[in-house]
Amino acid sequence: MRRFGWVGAAALAVALPWLPFLPPFWITLANYIGIASVVAIGLVVLTGVGGMTSFGQASFMGFGAYTTAILSTQWGISPWLTLPASLAVAGIAAWLIGQVTLRLSGHYLAVGTIAWSVALYYTFANLDFFGRNDGISGIPPLAIGGFRFIDPRATFAVVWIGVLASVLATRNLLDSRAGRAIRALSGGSVAAASFGVNTARARSLAFVHAAVLAGFAGWLYAHMQRSVNPTPFGLNASIEYLLMAVVGGAAHIPGAIIGAALVTVVNDQLQDLLPRLLGQSGNFETIVFGIVLVATLQAAPRGIWPLLARARPRHRDIQPDAPPLPHRALPTPNLTGGEVLDVRGLSKNFGGLAAVSDLGFTLASGEIVGLIGPNGAGKSTTFNLLTGVAEPSGGEIRFLGRSLAGLPARAIARLGIARSFQHVKLVPAMPVIENVAIGAHLRGHAGAIAALLRLDRAEEARLFAESARQLARVGLAEHADRPATELALGQQRIVEIARALALDPVALLLDEPAAGLRHAEKQALATLLRQLRADGVAVLLVEHDMDFVMTLADRLVVMDFGTRLAEGRPHDVRENPAVIEAYLGAPG
């Protein structure tokens, strides 16, 4: 939406409820939908995009609501001034909870939030400070000058402008360097970390963003309802918000709003209908919601929105004249032999099995080295050791003269080692160009606040200009806006190379880049790799296509049983009887 669109939507939110034919009941319902939407939009970032789940969103809403309730009733602080406090309390609570669980598997966060939302419910319900079960009443309404937002039609404007603000903030966040880090999580933590994404911080950011939105919803709720009590912030309410996101389509902002509308309206109708049908009173709507939740997961796991709207790729405008990003000076080959990577005595044991043992080799800038060997020789493990994905059991890796011991993957990426993966690890639903931009993550600096306020545009233009350049370099410029999974698998491997190049690497580690490529594409890849070699990049190549690697590599390192079996020029290695035996078995 252009800026005019947002202003127009805001004007609509102010004017719409005053239309004469709208019954007040529906306006009140729409206000509840708006508040629920804000919570559900937070779940889009957390669950739909970040792949985490929280059963505690209503608790965060409670933090926001009780904060403003206490500040405005007991200290008489203006509701507008309590807003930052409400957001901060929800956000800090989420940050603390995140510190405890976000390093564990996803379900620990989810089950943790279940326990804590029950604990918080009883805390609200038992402390005088929170007014116990009766809660806190007499909360002042929002007011501007003498105008008090009491009429639902007036509140409507506040609530829905709040929804618009949440949508805008969430879109800004997702379309930024920090947002890409969150989205990169669904391509696997390993890939994200290999390009310098601090995955723990990205998870925490998603969790805090969702909680702050919930806190905002709580603030809106407190001043609309003008009283708070523990019930709307209990576990069942949290489950309802999750239901909204899942039913509407957890990965999409419009899905969250549709889900919120559907669940709120159906809830209202069922609370009326079911007790009459069953002849007794009670919360029978939970039966329907439970069944709908399970049925949605089974029949339409991506929710309603993707069924309604066919996603069409949005074109991203690239500014090719944006000032180029700073470029790393590559070590010149004639200096100290140009060795960038020096591996000595490298070992890795899994249980009692040695996957790599006492491996040694070097890699110089402006050189292509092929790492070959039969299945299970330890090539992929070696890659993981070099890039910090796995920790060596012994030995030393030196890169540009410094030891990599103990460094996490993202620190190694910062030093200039970029890689591709044997099994493609791109973010499936994300456009190709944004996948490439993840590679340039470490070359930008803008954080989440800058993203929310759109202060990151100049840097984003530079990052995307660089990403577009690398994508053009590998010959996939015309696919920039397509979701990564729409490309052929061979092309996805090439996208991984573009992503690696966007890191501005000193050393490039490629795991079977030629697999799945047609002949002409292999030729193009070989040309690209030769070009990189001429530029001074050090290339380490694991490849099964022997013709490809034999014609391209300056040197080959042959691995068998985790150790170096042979090393030398391709021609010599090919004639080496030990190598032939490793591949074909002993002659009879």
Partner 1 sequence: MDSTIGLILVQDGVINGAIYALLALSLVLVFTVTRVIFIPQGEFVAYGALTYAALDNGQLPGSVWLLCGLGVAAALAGLWRRQVSARLLALTLALPALVLAVAIWAAPRRLGVAFDAALTLAIVAPMAPYLYRIGFQPLAEASVLVLLIAAVGVHLAMVGLGLVFFGPEGWRATALPAPSLALGDLPVPGQALWIVGLAIALMLALFAFFELTLFGRALRATAVNRLGARLVGIGTAQSGLIAFAIAGAIGALSGILIAPLTTVYYDSGFLVGLKGFTAAIIGGMAAYPPAVLAALAVGLLESFASFWASAFKEVIVFTAIIPVLLWRSLRHGPAEEEE
Partner 2 sequence: MLEVANLSVAYGGIGAVHDVSFRVAPGRIVTIIGPNGAGKSTLLNAIMGVLPGRGTVRFQGTDLGARPIEDRVRAGMSLVPEKRELFGTMTVQDNLRLGGFRLRGQPDAPSLDTIYALFPRLAERSRQRAGTLSGGERQMLAMGRALMARPSLLMLDEPSLGLAPRIVQDIFATIARLRETGTAILLVEQNARAALRIADEGHVLEMGAITLSGDSAALEADGRIVEMYLGQGRSKEALLS
Task: Note the residues at the interface with partner 2 (CB under 8 A).
Answer: 351-353, 374-376, 422-424, 489-490, 492-493, 512, 515-516, 544, 546-547, 549-551, 561, 570-571, 574-575, 577, 579-580, 583-588
Within positions 201 to 230, which residues make up the interface with partner 1, using CB under 8 A?
A: 203
377 binds partner 1 (CB under 8 A): no
**Of the listed pieces 50-58, 211-219, 434-442, 506-514, which binds partner 1 according to CB under 8 A?**
50-58
Q: Which amino acid is at 58?
A: A
Q: CA 264, CA 270: separation in Å to the nearest integer?
A: 10
Q: Which does 101 bind (CB under 5 to 8 A by kind): partner 2, partner 1, none?
A: partner 1
Residues 397-416 touching partner 1, rule: CB under 8 A, are 408
- Locate 331 and state its tokens: 């070590």
CB within 8 A of 222, min separation 6: which ones?
Answer: 64, 65, 66, 68, 69, 139, 228
- Rounded to an integer, what distance in angstroms lies between the CA atom of residue 216 and that of residue 357? 55
Q: Which does 588 bind (CB under 5 to 8 A by kind): partner 2, partner 1, none?
A: partner 2
Query: To the nearest whole angstrom, how small is the minimum distance from the Cβ of residue 496 to partner 2?
Result: 11
First to last CA, the chain: 72
In this structure, what token pair is assigned to residue 107? 């379900």
- Closest separation in Å from C-beta 563 to partner 2: 12
Of 252 and 493, the one with the shorter C-beta distance to partner 2 is: 493
DSSP 176-233: SHHHHHHHHGGG-HHHHHHTT--HHHHHHHHHHHHHHHHHHHHHHHHHHHSEE-SGGG
Smallest gap from residue 119 Cβ to partner 1 (A): 4
Q: CA 176, CA 168: separation in Å to the nearest integer?
A: 13
Of 164-172, 186-194, 395-403, 550-558, which part binds partner 1 (CB under 8 A)? 186-194
Q: Is 64 exposed, middle or buried (0-12, 13-18, 19+ CB in 10 A)?
A: buried
Nearer to partner 1, 22 or 200 (CB): 200
User: What character string, x for contact with partner 1 (CB under 8 A) and - otherwise, covers 58-97?
Assistant: ----------------------------------------
Q: How far is the CB of 175 from partner 2 (least distance, A)?
A: 30
Q: Please tell me whether residue 278 binds partner 1 under the rule CB under 8 A.
A: yes
CA 316 from chain centre, in angstroms, equals 19
Residue 386 to residue 506: CA distance in whole angstroms? 13
Residues ≥6 apart with Cβ < 8 Å to 377 = 559, 560, 561, 562, 582
Q: How far is the CB of 558 from partner 2 (least distance, A)?
A: 10
Contacts with 140 (C-beta within 8 Å, 6 or more apart), sequence order: 72, 73, 79, 223, 226
Determine the size of the site formed for partner 1 (CB under 8 A).
57
108 is a site residue for partner 1 (CB under 8 A): yes
Residue 290, C-beta contacts closer than 8 angstroms, at least 6 positions apart: none
- Residue number, 130 or 464, with CB nearest to partner 1: 130
Q: How far is the CB of 506 from partner 2 (least distance, A)?
A: 27
Binding residues for partner 1, rule: CB under 8 A, are 51-53, 55, 99-108, 110-112, 114-116, 118-120, 122-123, 126, 188-190, 193, 199-200, 203, 236, 239, 242-243, 246, 278, 280, 282-294, 297-298, 301, 408
